Structure 1
Amino acid sequence: MDNQLLNTLYTTYKVAALYGRYIQLKDIAPLINNLPEFCKVEVIGKSVLGESISSITIGNGPIKVLMWSQMHGNESTTTKAVFDMLNSFSDVSMQSLLEACTLKIIPMLNPDGSAAYTRLNANAVDLNRDAQDLSQPESVVLNTCFKCFKPDYCFNLHGQRTMFSVGDTNKPATLSFLSPSQDKHRSVTTTRQKAMHVISAINMGLQDDLPNQIGRYDDGFNINCVGDAFQSLNSPTILFEAGHYKDDYNREVVRGFVFKALLLALNYIVSEDKQRFDVTHYNAIPENGKRFYDVIIRNAQFKDQILDIGINYQERLLNNAVKFMPKVVAITDLSKFYGHKEIDASHNNVLNHDNKLISIDYENDFVVITNVKLSLNL
């Protein structure tokens, strides 16, 4: 599946009704209700607050792929890409894929968290730490779906923060992947290798379009995490993480890369003439670092010291929209870190709204340097 075809499919079938970071059930419900007849929609459970959790089944092939999005309610980029992908399945070029596999997609596992724009569910539980206890209705829904569907592959679709870098470089980890460990020894089992091969295929397919901006998560084992749990049950599981791209805080550019990654993964899985990969291809993907702040103000004067100021945006739901509020989180030497935006204070004081030296936890949309008000807004 070449990049030209992927670009054409994305521009043709991108769902205009979904935009930005705040995606909730009422946004996707009309899309689910208007899916074509070849999509089978089922309500497979309810959330803590009684919202419907739906699955969408498409395709009639022997290879079964289960994917779920918005397990964390504030991680919506993959949900947008899933509906773009569903829309693209009406294209004639997608028919062979749907004849080779059957997909079951849960587009929004955590509708309560999505409405509140929070990682957690309505009981303040992280569903991605509930794989063993199954204490939450959403966890039971996913676990039951997994057992009934018996997938050959699982796609665990998430979003990651802007801090992540590709290794220790100045490249943001726009996409990151993981073949989770199957045991505490991080054994490279046959199941893990299958997931590694898919990730390697995605990485190879996207490098021309997204050079050096794909990372790999640490594979420390935690059986309470859903990916680790499903991998331990011998279902090859791939963690997708949608990250940051330059100036793309609404994750609309990244959405396109996720769309391409999903189709590259599926195309590789169903391909009869697979390119051969091994563990070295997977391990060659750099592990994620944490080298970014949203804003760094360099060379700020603090009494007898010259220091840097690290600022991160706090995502807050206000008036049904996500607002990015700048907050000072570090005042130190940040010479080994990078800012998605950088300002040079040129050895001057950096002042707050009261004309006092900036301090940790300061929140405002501007700072003052040499009597000039500088915006920190996006």
Structure 2
Amino acid sequence: MQKTLVLFIAGFFSLISFSQEAITTKLYETYDSYKETSLHKRRIKHEQLKPLIERFNANPKFEVHKVGKSIEGRDLNLISTGSGDINVFLWSQMHGNEPTATQAIFDILNFLDASDFKTEKEAILSKLKLHFLPMLNPDGAEVYQRRNMLGIDINRDALRLQSPEGRTLKRIRDSLNANFGFNLHDQSTYYNAELTSKPATISYLAPAFNYEKDINEVRSDAMKIIVFMNNIIQKYAPGQVGRYNDDFEPRAFGDNIQKWGTSTILIESGGYANDVEKQEIRKLNYVSILSAIYTIAKGSYQDISIADYEKIPKNDRKLFDLKIENVTYELLGKDYILDLGIHRQEVDDENHESFYYRSMIADQGDLSTYYGYETFDATGYKIVPPKVYPKSMDTNSRALWNDGNSPFKSGYGYFKTNFLPPFPYTEMPGHFVSKDYKLPEFNLRPGVNPTFFLEKQGKLTHAVINGFLIDLSKPIENQNFGNALIYH
């Protein structure tokens, strides 16, 4: 009898697990039906959210309330739905340049408004009341910066509450007395899962509520939800999950909201190969958050062991956009073997709507414990300094690059022109300079722009232009190249 009971219980929980896995798969497969297509890149602004918020305001399934204003007077809105007794509060873009989850929130709202998944949505909305506060820092989003217009990090304002945005967040949390909170952020794309070459595409944290890092029921429930979400992400981005440092930060909202009694789950959206605008990571947010909401509604998270929380690899920061290994660099007549780690830094345009790349060597030397989104083994290759093309070039085209006799392929990385464009970059794989430009003495070191050529057995084989590796034997259209620079 006892053995039969054990088998029944095991089978019951296996059925729950299978049921939730099936829902997650369906959510992933049908995502495009709910994706908010008006939001498709990272540099979104408050004006883009207004018509979406108005649409939900006119929908009787949702309640929309203006709950505050930013320093510059932009509305902060809370969108709520559901009739349950368990309050779940989700807020995003506390940092203005961390918009991935803001987009995912509107995808989730579209899903909740749609007519399908009726059984699952009934289970969610009858048990829970969901509250979404998208874009907590609209002033920062306007100029794509982390801090608000007071110049402070809102996530370090939980004690003094100097910012109106921080005061709004605290007031809403308290008025809801939320059972669960999802604190939604972006992190650097240079984080990796510890001791692996894989980016920390998603990182989680159940923040500590004291210096001792004690675990009470509130924090334990957050850990269980994170274990559940980690298992989901592993299906779509295996090995690409990290665990954020849990040192207690007494000024931070996440730590304090945990302390105030809300089981708080921090989600950080990091990097994913070939996903510059983080649209695949947005999808992972959508799937994992909705699945977590479902397990909260069903109560099935309660049977998850928190022992698996500590098994999630820690976040590390050892990724480069491009890593060149074992390259030969001649200095003062001697050859040295170096690794180069290159970061492609984004520079916003004046309207903060787009960007170009201005790359730099982030580190060099022995980088054997570091990794790259792109890695090139340059064993047997030698660095060749770039040259300035002696003639003025007033036409520059991809056809010129692809020509077999192109000056690009003869070691010229800089080109003089009579008509220097007013903007700071070019999509062609060579820097433009003024007629009187003098190329500085070539010297590799951290902080300089990585522009040089690679030679093997006396033949130029590759160019590195503004931190992008280009194979000289292939058409430029088929290669991952961002932009070169214009030096005025």
State the TM-score, normalizing by the size of structure 2: 0.74
Which deviates more from structure 2 when the two are superposed, residues 91-100 or residues 218-227?
91-100
Q: Which amino acid in the other structure matches residue 315 of structure 1?
A: E
Q: Aligned with 1:123: secondary structure? A: coil
Deviation at 1:273, TM superposition (A): 4.2
CA contact (8 A) 1:192 1:236 kept: yes
Find the partner of 1:210 among 237, 256, 270.
Answer: 237
Q: Aligned with 1:363: secondary structure? A: coil
Q: Aligned with 2:357: secondary structure? A: strand
Tell me the C-alpha RMSD between the 2 structures.
1.8
Q: Deviations over 1:258-298 (max 9, x none)?
A: 11111111011111444611221111111111121111122
Segments of structure 1 that go 5 or more residues without pairing to the other structure are none
Tell me, yes or no, if structure 1 residue 332 matches structure 2 residue 355. Answer: no
CA contact (8 A) 2:341 2:362 kept: yes
Q: Which amino acid in the other structure matches residue 175 of structure 1?
A: I
CA contact (8 A) 1:43 1:52 kept: yes
Which deviates more from structure 2 when the two are superposed, residues 342-351 or residues 57-66?
342-351
**Structure 1 segment 362-377 matched on structure 2, within 5 A:** 362-363=448-449, 366-370=451-455, 371=460, 372-375=462-465, 376=468, 377=481
**Counterpart for residue 349 of structure 1:** 383
**Structure 1 segment 29-178 matched on structure 2, within 5 A:** 29-35=50-56, 36-91=59-114, 92-93=116-117, 94-178=121-205
* Alpha-carbon distance in structure 2 between the residues aligned to 1:327 and 1:21: 22
Deviation at 1:4, TM superposition (A): 2.4
* Alpha-carbon distance in structure 2 between the residues aligned to 1:248 and 1:186: 35
**Counterpart for residue 347 of structure 2:** 316
* Alpha-carbon distance in structure 2 between the residues aligned to 1:79 and 1:96: 24
Highest relative contact order (Cα 8 Å, sep 6+), 1 or 2?
Answer: 1
Deviation at 1:361, TM superposition (A): 1.6
Deviation at 1:49, TM superposition (A): 1.1
Deviation at 1:316, TM superposition (A): 2.2
Which deviates more from structure 2 when the two are superposed, residues 20-29 or residues 345-354?
345-354
Q: Aligned with 2:235: secondary structure? A: coil
* Alpha-carbon distance in structure 1 between the residues aligned to 2:92 and 2:384: 41
Find the partner of 1:307 among 323, 335, 338.
Answer: 338
CA contact (8 A) 2:34 2:110 kept: yes
Which deviates more from structure 2 when the two are superposed, residues 303-312 or residues 73-82?
303-312
Tell me, yes or no, if structure 1 residue 13 matches structure 2 residue 34. Answer: yes
Q: Which amino acid in the other structure matches residue 313 of structure 1?
A: R
Deviation at 1:54, TM superposition (A): 1.1
Q: Which amino acid in the other structure matches residue 287 of structure 1?
A: K
Tell me, yes or no, if structure 1 residue 179 matches structure 2 residue 200. Answer: no
| Count of residue pairs brought into register by the alignment | 377
Segments of structure 2 that go 5 or more residues without pairing to the other structure are 1-19, 387-412, 414-438, 469-480, 483-488
CA contact (8 A) 2:123 2:298 kept: no
Query: Greater Rg, structure 1 or structure 2?
Result: 2
Q: Deviations over 1:93-134 (max 9, x none)?
A: 223212211111110000011011111111111111111111
**Counterpart for residue 4 of structure 1:** 25
Q: Aligned with 2:174: secondary structure? A: helix
Find the partner of 1:294 among 321, 335, 338.
Answer: 321
Q: Aligned with 2:275: secondary structure? A: coil
Q: Deviations over 1:322-341 (max 9, x none)?
A: 33332211122111111111
Which deviates more from structure 2 when the two are superposed, residues 1-10 or residues 124-133?
1-10
Q: Which amino acid in the other structure matches residue 358 of structure 1?
A: L
CA contact (8 A) 1:299 1:348 kept: no
**Counterpart for residue 428 of structure 2:** none
* Alpha-carbon distance in structure 2 between the residues aligned to 1:203 and 1:358: 41
Which deviates more from structure 2 when the two are superposed, residues 179-188 or residues 308-317?
308-317
Among all aligned residue pairs of Structure 1 and Structure 2, give the percentage whose two residues are the same amino acid: 32
Which deviates more from structure 2 when the two are superposed, residues 18-27 or residues 33-42?
33-42
Q: Deviations over 1:57-98 (max 9, x none)?
A: 111111101111000011111111111111001233223212
CA contact (8 A) 2:69 2:76 kept: yes
Deviation at 1:161, TM superposition (A): 0.8
How has the CA–CA distance of structure 1 residues 351 and 79 changed in structure 2, closer, same or farther, with 3 Å as cutoff? farther
Q: Deviations over 1:8-46 (max 9, x none)?
A: 341210111111211111121121111233121111111
How has the CA–CA distance of structure 1 residues 105 and 367 changed in structure 2, closer, same or farther, with 3 Å as cutoff? farther
CA contact (8 A) 2:89 2:182 kept: yes
**Counterpart for residue 418 of structure 2:** none
How has the CA–CA distance of structure 1 residues 351 and 357 changed in structure 2, closer, same or farther, with 3 Å as cutoff? farther
How has the CA–CA distance of structure 1 residues 229 and 351 changed in structure 2, closer, same or farther, with 3 Å as cutoff? farther
* Alpha-carbon distance in structure 2 between the residues aligned to 1:232 and 1:322: 39
Tell me, yes or no, if structure 1 residue 26 matches structure 2 residue 51. Answer: no
Q: Which amino acid in the other structure matches residue 359 of structure 1?
A: R
**Counterpart for residue 360 of structure 1:** 446
Which deviates more from structure 2 when the two are superposed, residues 295-304 or residues 6-15?
295-304
**Counterpart for residue 248 of structure 1:** 275
* Alpha-carbon distance in structure 1 between the residues aligned to 2:283 and 2:264: 22
* Alpha-carbon distance in structure 2 between the residues aligned to 1:327 and 1:78: 29
How has the CA–CA distance of structure 1 residues 9 and 37 changed in structure 2, closer, same or farther, with 3 Å as cutoff? farther
* Alpha-carbon distance in structure 2 between the residues aligned to 1:196 and 1:115: 34
* Alpha-carbon distance in structure 1 between the residues aligned to 2:253 and 2:355: 27
* Alpha-carbon distance in structure 1 between the residues aligned to 2:370 and 2:134: 35
Q: Aligned with 1:177: secondary structure? A: strand
Deviation at 1:350, TM superposition (A): 5.3
Which deviates more from structure 2 when the two are superposed, residues 223-232 or residues 344-353?
344-353
* Alpha-carbon distance in structure 1 between the residues aligned to 2:263 and 2:322: 38
Which deviates more from structure 2 when the two are superposed, residues 348-357 or residues 235-244?
348-357
